[in-house]
Amino acid sequence: MKMTKKTYLLLALLVAALLFPILVPNQYYLQILILVFIWTIAVYGLNTITGLTGQLSLAHAGFFAIGAYSLGLLTINAGIPFWAAFVLAIVITTIISFFIGIVALRTKSHFFAIYTMSVGFLIYLIIYKSELTGGVRGLIGIPNPAPIGPLTFESIQSYYYLMLFFLLLTIFFMYRLFHSLLGKTFVAIRNSEELAETLGISVMKNKLLAFVISAGLASLSGALYASYVRFLGPQMADIHVAFEILLYLLVGGIGTLAGPLIGTFIVVVLTQMLQFLEEFRMLVFGPIVVLLILFYPRGIVGGYLMWRAKRAKKQKVADANTTTKGENGNAVNH
Partner 1 sequence: MLLTINQLTKQFGGLSAVNDVSAVIEESKITAIIGPNGAGKSTFFNLISGFHQPTSGRIELSGQDITNMRAEHVARLGVGRTFQTTHLFEQATVLDNVLIGHRLRTKAGLFDAIFRTKRERDEKKKCLDKALEALEFVGLTSLAYEQAHSITQEQQKRVAFALALATDPKLVLLDEPAAGVNPDETEGLSEVMKKMVKRGKTVCLIEHKMPMVMSLADHILVLNHGELIANGTPKDIQKNERVIEAYLGGNSNVSA
Partner 2 sequence: MDLLFQQILNGLTVGSVYSLVALGLTLVFGILHVPNFAHGALYMVGAYIALTVMTALGVHYWIGLIIAVIVIALLSVLMERLVFSRLDSKDPLPIMIASIGILFFLESFAQYMWGSQYQRMVTPYGDTIQIFGLTVTMQRLLVIIAAVALMYALHLFLTKTMTGAAIIAMSQSKNGAFLVGINATRVSMLTFAIAGGLAAAAATLAAPINLVFPSMGNLVIMKAFVIIIIGGMGSIPGAIIGGYILGMAESLGATYISGDYKDLIAFVLLVLILTMKPNGLFAKGVK
Partner 3 sequence: SGTTGGESGEGSSEGEEQVPEVSAGEEIINIGYTGPLSGPAAFYGENTVSGVRMAAEEINEAGGFEVGGTTYKLNIVTYDDQYLPNEAATNARRLVQEHNTPVVFVPHSGGVFATQVFNEQEDFMIAAYTSEPEILNQGNELTLRIPPAYDQYPEPFVKYQQERFGTRLALLPTATQYGKDWTEELVPVWEEFGGEVVYDGEVDFGKDTDFFPIVTNALNQNPDVIFVGGPSEPTALLMKAARDLGFEGGFMVMDQAKFEEMDGVLGNFDDIEGAIGMLPIISSDAPGAESFIASFESELGRVPTAESAFNYQAMYVLVEAMKLAETVEDPQAIMAQMDAGVKALSEDKLVWHLTGVENNGFDWMASIAAIEDGEIVLIEE
Three-state DSSP class for 309? helix
Three-state DSSP class for 256? coil
CA-atom Rg of the chain in angstroms: 23
C-alpha distances (whole Å) from 80 to each of 73, 87, 132, 304 are: 9, 11, 16, 46
Binding flag, residue 289, partner 2 (CB under 8 A): yes
Question: Among residues 98, 107, 230, 293, which is the contact residue for partner 3, using CB under 8 A?
Answer: 230
Report the alpha-carbon angle 126-57-309, nearest 5: 155
Question: Among residues 20, 281, 289, 293, which is the contact residue for partner 3, using CB under 8 A?
Answer: 281
Q: What CA–CA distance (Å, rounded) separates 18 from 12?
A: 10
Binding flag, residue 132, partner 2 (CB under 8 A): no
CB of 269 to partner 3, least distance (A): 12
* C-alpha closest to that of 167 among 212, 206, 215, 225: 225
Nearer to partner 2, 230 or 281 (CB): 281
Dihedral angle, C-alpha 132, 135, 137, 138, nearest 10 °:
60
Question: What single-letter DSSP state applies at residue 132?
Answer: T
CA 96 distance to own-chain centroid: 19
Counting residues that bind partner 3 (by CB under 8 A) gives 29
Nearer to partner 2, 118 or 158 (CB): 118
User: Counting beta carbons within 10 angstroms of the beta carbon of residue 21, is it exposed (0 to 12), middle (13 to 18) or buried (19 or more)?
Assistant: buried
CB of 259 to partner 3, least distance (A): 23
CB of 25 to partner 1, least distance (A): 36
Which range binds partner 3 by CB under 8 A, 172-180, 194-202, 213-221, 229-237?
A: 229-237
Q: Which of residues 148-177 bind partner 1 (CB under 8 A)?
A: 173, 176-177
Binding flag, residue 204, partner 2 (CB under 8 A): no
Q: What CA–CA distance (Å, rounded) separates 132 from 22?
A: 41
Contact string 201-220 vs partner 1 (x = CB under 8 A): xxx-----x---x-------
Considering all CA atoms of the chain, what is the largest pairwise distance in Å, rounded to the nearest integer?
89
Binding flag, residue 324, partner 1 (CB under 8 A): no
Binding flag, residue 194, partner 3 (CB under 8 A): no
CB of 117 to partner 3, least distance (A): 15
Query: Phi and psi at residue 48, in whole multiples of 5°?
Result: -65, -45
Nearer to partner 1, 129 or 176 (CB): 176
CB of 204 to partner 1, least distance (A): 9
Binding flag, residue 192, partner 1 (CB under 8 A): yes
Q: What CA–CA distance (Å, rounded) separates 253 from 296?
A: 9
User: Counting beta carbons within 10 angstroms of the beta carbon of residue 17, is it exposed (0 to 12), middle (13 to 18) or buried (19 or more)?
Assistant: middle
Binding flag, residue 140, partner 3 (CB under 8 A): yes
Binding flag, residue 90, partner 1 (CB under 8 A): no
Which chain residues interact with partner 1 by CB under 8 A?
173, 176-177, 180-185, 187-188, 191-192, 194-203, 209, 213
Which chain residues interact with partner 3 by CB under 8 A?
26-28, 31-32, 35, 135-138, 140-141, 156, 225, 229-231, 233, 235-236, 272, 275-282
Which chain residues interact with partner 2 by CB under 8 A?
50, 56, 103, 106-111, 113-115, 117-119, 121-122, 125, 129, 239, 243, 246-247, 250, 254, 279-283, 285-290, 293-294, 297-298
